[in-house]
Amino acid sequence: MSKYGVSITELKEEKYLVDALREMGYRPEVHHEAVPMNSYYAEQEAKQANIIIRRHELRGACGDIGFARQPDGRLTLIADELDAYHGYGEKWLGCVQQLYKEKQTLAMARARGYTLKKREVIQTKEGQQVRLQFAVRR
Amino acid sequence: MQDQTITITIDEQGHSTLDLEGFAGRTCEKVFDDFRGGDRLSNERKKPAYFTGQQVQQEKSQR
C-alpha cells in the first residue's frame, strides 16, 4: 500500500448532480441563472436555485428542493428546514452525494484510462457504502 | 512487480476513502490527484511503499 486519503465530497459538477437526482427518480429542472423556488415560507424568505426538484415530486415535502451555485463554484442544498424532518435532511443529501461521487469517479476513470475491476455495495451500521476498485490500464 | 490497484470507498454521506496499492513517488501523487478530483482532503497518509519506491527511483537517477 502506498497512499491513503479521506476526501470530503463537494458538489461542483452539474452534470453528475443532475444524473444522481435522475437516478433517484426525480426530474430536476436545470437553470443557468438561478430561479425562484416554491417554499412553505415563500412569503417570508424568497429562495433561488439553479437545479430544482419541484415539490410535487417530493413526497411529504413542504417546498421545492434546490441546489444553488455559489461564487466558489460549489452547488449547495437549498431547502425548507422543515423538510429535514420529512426525509430530506442529511441522509437524503448523503444519498445524493454518494451517487454524485460514484458517477464522477467512473467518468473520470474512463476518461483517464483506468479500468474498473470491481464494484461492491457494502452494508454497514451507518448505511450503504460503495466500493470501486480500479487498475491502471497498461 | 506488485499489482497497482486503486480502491475508492464512498460512504453513506458521499465522502470517500482512497487507497492506493503498489504505487510510489510521483506516479502515486498523480493517481491520487486524479481520483481525489476537486474534493477537499481531510486526511492523508503515505505508506512505507511510497518512500521505498521513491528511494529506488532516486538511486536510479543518480547512476
Residue B7 and residue B19 in contact, taking contact as beta carbons nearer than 8 Å: yes
Amino acid A124: pLDDT: 94
Q: Give buried/exposed letters for A49-67 (b at 16+ CB in 10 A, else e).
A: bbbbbbbebbeebbbbbbb
Q: How far is CA B59 from CA A3, B49, B52, B53, B54, in A?
A: 21, 15, 11, 10, 9
As for the ipTM of the complex, it is 0.89
CB contact under 8 A, A94 and B34: no
Amino acid B39: pLDDT: 83
Please write the tens of the pLDDT for every residue from A5-56. 898 999 999 999 999 999 999 999 999 999 999 876 655 567 899 999 999 9
CA distance B41 to chain A (A): 4
Amino acid B2: pLDDT: 65
Considering only the beta carbons, identify the residue of A4, A97, A100 that sits closest to B18: A4
Residues from chain A contacting residue B43 (CB–CB below 8 Å): 5-6
CA distance A88 to chain B (A): 13
% of chain B beyond a pLDDT of 90: 25
